[in-house]
Chains A and B, each alone.
Chain A
Amino acid sequence: MADWYTNFANSGVGTTITKQLGLPRPAVLRRYEPGGPLLPGPAVIGTAGDGRLRDALARVLAGADVSVLPAVDPDGEKPAAVLLDGTGITGPGQLAAAHDFLAPAVKRLRPSGRVLILADPPAATGSPATAAARQALDGLVRSIGKELLNGSTANLVLVPEGAEAALASPVRFFLSGRSAYVDGQVLTLSAAGVPAGEDDERPLAGRVAVVTGAARGIGAAIARVMARDGAHVVAVDVPAAGESLAGVANEIGGTAFQLDITAADAPARLVEHLRERHGGVDVVVHNAGITRDKLLVNMDAARWNSVMAVNLQAQLDITEALLAADGLLRPDARIVCVSSQSGIAGNRGQTNYAASKAGIIGMVRVWAPTFAERGATINAVAPGFIVTEMTAKMPFGTREVGSRINSLQQGGLPVDVAETIAWLSQRGSAGVNGQVVRVCGQSFLGA
């Protein structure tokens, strides 16, 4: 599944050549496989100050059959994950303790290892010194991400007081292969009731999930992963893409629903279909998107309007219709909106696309409290350079540069985006709301 250069750089002769020439040395990433262990080795947990999450973390790891090393032994077993409970940090002085723990631990980290730091949100204090120290962790994590080799990642989870119960799902995600291409991210949890008893192997069992743009590419990957995790997938795409849409639906045991989401009656038709066939809906993944690239000065109204209609307005209209349809959206529903790196960093020739994808982020943040009241969530996922049919058509140089300018030195795969979306769709992810998760390998763009 890795690209040609990653394969080459990991071959015998390729290793020698890339080392001598100082070329990027992307690793073959550890990706999730059903039935496999959450982590391929033990974890080690450290603290800086009097943290409150150590026990909670230990319980999460024990529940996932991850053994915990008592300490980092320079000659002993190497950890596959390094976790730091930073919730005890109240001032810059305690950051040294973080450094003292992390330096030897990260040195011993296995390939495709994980560094995960948990801390309080910087803004949740009146003390400038405390806020400074908490914010410092942000820079620390992002820098660790850039220093890590061999497909390892570093991420930061901010846990406000009261949100401890929501910890398990994000911790498991960041340690697992599901987060292979999620690197350098900061996630803020919120307090939420987390339902118990989710099946680890099939966390979406019994859930009805709508995936738009499911006929090909990232959308098809999302549909496959959701079905693998147990969901019944209602695969949606434009009627013209119906042949491949039917192929995807049949492959995953889902159903195909041909719909132009920009049609005036599309939200009503989707609502009616879901009510008639399924009585409701649990997960909606707004994935459908188009590009109509042109420099702003050359862009005509048709290019601008079609991109806005598909990428942004349809997400707004359909979500509004689902909220308004009495009892249709189940109480613990999950909405995931596909944004883009372009919406964060901007991109030459993509004023329309970037605007639409940035708009999604604004929409998600404002809608989050409304969804929280229902026990539901709405989040955005912003893919970076993802290897698809579309990128295969890019000029060689543009493609190779585009895929290397991130900490993992490679493009992500559609499945990486899909895994993140499937994770956000779990009931256990109740504490992740209004967030923007980038699946970009810690891209240098817009970071």
Chain B
Amino acid sequence: MATTRPVPGRRAAVIGGNRIPFARSNSAYAQASNQDMLTATLDGLVARFGLQGEQVGEVVAGAVLKHARDFNLTREAVLGSRLSAATPAYDVQQACGTGLEAAVLVANKIALGQIESGIAGGTDTTSDAPLAVNEDLRRVLIQLNSAKTLGDRLKALRGLRPGQLAPEIPRNAEPRTGLAMGDHAAITAKEWEIGREEQDELTVRSHQNLAAAYDRGFFDDLVTPYLGLTRDQNLRPDSSMEKLATLKPVFGEGPDATMTAGNSTPLTDGASAVLLASDEWAAERGLPVLAHLVDAQTAAVDYVHGGEGLLMAPAYAVPVMLARQGLTLQDFDFYEIHEAFASTVLATMKAWEDPSFCKERLGLDAPLGSIDRSKLNVNGSSLAAGHPFAATGGRIVAMLAKMLHEAGPGRRGLISICAAGGQGVVAILES
């Protein structure tokens, strides 16, 4: 395992961020496309930092559920925004890690001096999801399109069947296992013996923390309302153990199933963006430096044949990054562990505490140890806010940077995001 500590060079600064409130699927943003949401989010960022007509180095963003017409989604959003039309952009896609990966890509170019500023973001809609034509119909249409003679065309048309009208609907399922992500998480939850009560506790805390953060104005410079929505639609400030206890399990099987619609994130629509830059660029414009991106790491696990949980990759990525930085898991003031499911957060933490997992799977002499829960997701996370896949990374980076800035210089925060395909993206921010 690589443990060489890199020579500290220039670090990219997080200047601030913007996101729109996250909406529940088929609700407030039902008529909004990914491009609409990303454009609005960029414009909110532009307004916050006075970037009208500004040519930033690069805008990097993506969406997990993406229409074919959105092949150049981010660049199109830039062209529709108040940024200079001379701002280059490209799309990335790494499932739920998209937003954080975008921030890492922008930060790395800034650190290398290839750009001085950049915007990283992500957007996702499960309401305006891409429907594809039925695979059989698609073949017929392609054949028809390539037919040269009338006879060939008629021959192709003979392949049409009524059943081909059924569209291909994107599913929240792993292509290689056919299991929904929640079903995978339920397997992991069972393996790590994660109880219903602790999942519900984590969920209640997420809602309470997010509601409290809104109430004290913490999100005033992180969120811009959109289409009449001013707070995350999934947020239930009055969430309680009693209410959550009434919910029936939706993932896992049998009497010991623990995962409900309450302690799993719902399908959500939304977008986020983060402004990153060199310290010099920020100083020239009188913009604040909230934190620096110190390091990042990705990992992947073989959840198909390797016997590892689909969402356990961050458990592998974090120790690699800690070793490289010479840090322990306890050397952080804040932990932002994306709440795909309450059980995912709990299983990840349990794995880090487990001597045999740390020894056998991570190759460590001693377990990473436990996390001070009072430092975990202190302003709420995805269970309360919702999780528009590609938008979660931007939400967390901007929020954590602000938390670190408020806490004072030299504070450190850990971000851990699990992603479909058995992947994970993690990063360290420092004020």
State the A residues within 8 Å of B (CB). 232, 239-243, 245-247, 249-250, 253-260, 263, 265, 269, 276-279
Contact = CB atoms under 8 A, between A and B. Distances in A.
B interface SS class:
loop
A247 B52 CA distance: 11
A255 B288 contact: no
Interface string B210-238: 00000001011101111100100000000
Given A240-B225, A253-B53, A255-B50, A246 B219 contact: no
Given A239-B223, A243-B226, A279-B286, 18 more contacts: A239-B220, A240-B230, A242-B230, A243-B44, A243-B224, A243-B225, A246-B44, A246-B47, A250-B46, A253-B50, A253-B52, A253-B53, A254-B47, A258-B220, A260-B220, A276-B288, A277-B288, A278-B286
B286 A250 contact: no
Nearest to A256: B47
Contacts of A265: 217
B200 interface: no
A272 to B, nearest CB: 10
Nearest to A263: B217
B48 interface: yes
Given A250-B82, A276-B288, A278-B286, A260 B217 contact: yes
Contacts, number: 69
Contacts of B220: 239, 258-260
B52 to A, nearest CB: 5
Interface residues of B, number: 24
Interface centre among A232, A240, A242 (most CB of B within 10 A): A242
B90 interface: no
Contacts of B44: 242-243, 246, 256
Contacts of B221: 257-258
Contact of B47 (A240, A241, A249): A249
B303 interface: no
Given A239-B219, A240-B225, A258-B224, A245 B286 contact: no
B427 to A, nearest CB: 25
A135 to B, nearest CB: 50
A250 B43 CA distance: 8
B286 A254 contact: no
Interface of B: 40, 43-44, 46-50, 52-53, 82, 217, 219-221, 223-227, 230, 286-288
Given A246-B43, A246-B44, A276 B286 contact: yes
A317 to B, nearest CB: 15
A185 B149 CA distance: 85
A267 to B, nearest CB: 13
A255 B286 contact: no
Given A253-B50, A263-B217, A265-B217, A239 B225 contact: yes
Contacts of B52: 250, 253
Contacts of B288: 276-277
A250 B217 contact: no
Contacts of A240: 225, 230
A271 to B, nearest CB: 14
Contacts of A255: 47-50
B219 A256 contact: no
A239 B53 CA distance: 24
A214 to B, nearest CB: 11
A277 B48 CA distance: 11
Contacts of B225: 239-243
B287 A239 contact: no
A420 to B, nearest CB: 26
B321 to A, nearest CB: 31
A32 B288 CA distance: 38
Contacts of B50: 232, 249, 253-255
Nearest to B287: A277
Contacts of A246: 43-44, 46-48, 224
Nearest to B81: A250
